[in-house]
Amino acid sequence: MQTLQTEQELSTILAEGKTVLLFSADWCPDCRLIEPFMPEIEEEFSEFKFIYVDRDQFIDICISYDIFGIPSFLAFENGEEIGRFVSKNKKTKTEIQQFLNELQ
């Protein structure tokens, strides 16, 4: 999974194709729970680019997209938002797969 490095690169990343932003943070225990199966999800949904967005490093991006709980997922296609799985609740592998399946 690619990690967002700068706020400026976000518009370039989102401009083309299908992208899923994963908002997370190192200190978040629910975020750690999804780490073991995220590579499988990335492989299963290979039509998407998955981008890790550190909530603490990019708080302004979180605010602009109304991301107040983590882990959260925001999906885009060619720069347009196509779906969001945003809440403060922990996420299961099945819930994430269901969210991504609904985007197709």
- Reported as a single tens digit per residue, the pLDDT across 15-30 is 989 999 999 999 999 9
Q: Which of 20, 21, 28, 53 is catalytic?
A: 28
- Reported as a single tens digit per residue, the pLDDT across 48-79 is 999 999 999 999 999 999 998 899 999 999 99
Amino acid 68: pLDDT = 87
What residues contact 85, with CB distance under 8 A and at least 6 apart?
72, 73, 74, 91, 95, 96, 99
Distance from C-alpha of 41 to C-alpha of 61, rounded to nearest angstrom: 24
What's the mean pLDDT when you consider all of the chain? 93
| pLDDT band (50, 70, 90) for residue 104 | confident
Distance from C-alpha of 70 to C-alpha of 23, rounded to nearest angstrom: 6
Q: What is the pTM of this model?
A: 0.93
Phi, psi (deg, nearest 5) at residue 45: -115, 55
Residue 28 annotated to the active site: yes
Extents of the domains making up the chain = 2-103
Cα dist. 103→20, 43, 63, 77, 98 in Å? 11, 16, 23, 10, 9
CATH of domain 2-103: 3.40.30.10
Torsion of CA 103, 22, 31, 88, to 10 degrees: -70
Q: Which of 14, 31, 74, 100 is catalytic?
A: 31
